[in-house]
Structure 1
Amino acid sequence: MNRLQFFTPVIISRGQGKPVEEIDSVSEAMTFLRHWPKGRRGPVYQCALNCCAAALAGQMSAEEARKAFTGFARITRLLDDDMSLPTGSERMDSLYTARR
């Protein structure tokens, strides 16, 4: 497995009746973000872009970049309904954080 590959793809849905898109690596997420309309680029977009760039530079893991990209997709309402639940590791992270 490539170090920039996501363990679980991020499923993007552009609306009912349109095909879903699977983003399964940092490079694909970066390509998606670079094509995002300039007028809709805000702080969440910038965070996802910065995290993907950091992962490409080896300063962050692909899964950390995936979390940022998933947050961007959720905020922009592109995240497919099936992907709205966190992955097993994300659930464990939230449980651990909640218990602190």
Structure 2
Amino acid sequence: MNRLQFFTPVRISRGQESPAEEIDSVAEAMEFLRRWPIGRRGPVYQCAVNCCSAALAGRMSAEEARKAFTGFARITRLLDDDMALPIGGGNVDSVHALRR
């Protein structure tokens, strides 16, 4: 496994019309961020870019960069709903109760 590969991909959803996109590595996350519209780049975007850059330079792990990218995807409402579930599935009813 490549040291820049994510253990679990980050699923990005751009709406029901488009299929979900899986981001599998720091390099793919960085490419996604480079294409992000300039007018929508804020502090969470910059944090994700900084973390991905640090991982590419070997100063941060791929999983730490993944966490920052996942946070960016969540804040921008691109994170696929399936990613919000706890690892192992968890109790779906309790997850939905927390969202209310």
Tell me the TM-score range normalised by the shorter chain: 0.7 to 0.9
Gaps of 5+ in 1: 89-100
Q: Aligned-pair distance for 1:21?
A: 0.4
Q: Aligned-pair distance for 1:40?
A: 0.1
Match of 1:91 in 2: none
Identity of paired residues, percent? 85
Root mean square deviation of aligned Cα: 1.1
Q: Which amino acid aligns with 1:27?
A: A
Match of 1:5 in 2: 5
Match of 1:59 in 2: 59
Provide closer, same or farther for how the CA distance between residues 10 and 50 of structure 1 changes in structure 2, counting only shifts above 3 A.
same
Whole-Å separation in 2 of the counterparts to 1:78 and 1:69: 11
Whole-Å separation in 1 of the counterparts to 2:80 and 2:66: 15
Q: Which stretches of structure 1, 4 residues or more, deviate above 2 A after TM superposition?
A: 85-88
Whole-Å separation in 2 of the counterparts to 1:51 and 1:5: 14
Matching of residue 28 in structure 1 with residue 23 in structure 2: no
Whole-Å separation in 2 of the counterparts to 1:8 and 1:60: 17
Gaps of 5+ in 2: 89-100
Q: Which amino acid aligns with 2:85?
A: L
With normalisation by structure 2, the TM-score equals 0.85
Provide closer, same or farther for how the CA distance between residues 41 and 84 of structure 1 changes in structure 2, counting only shifts above 3 A.
same
* Helix, strand or coil at the partner of 1:15: coil
Match of 2:85 in 1: 85
Q: Aligned-pair distance for 1:86?
A: 4.8
Whole-Å separation in 2 of the counterparts to 1:54 and 1:86: 27
Q: Which amino acid aligns with 2:4?
A: L
Match of 1:93 in 2: none
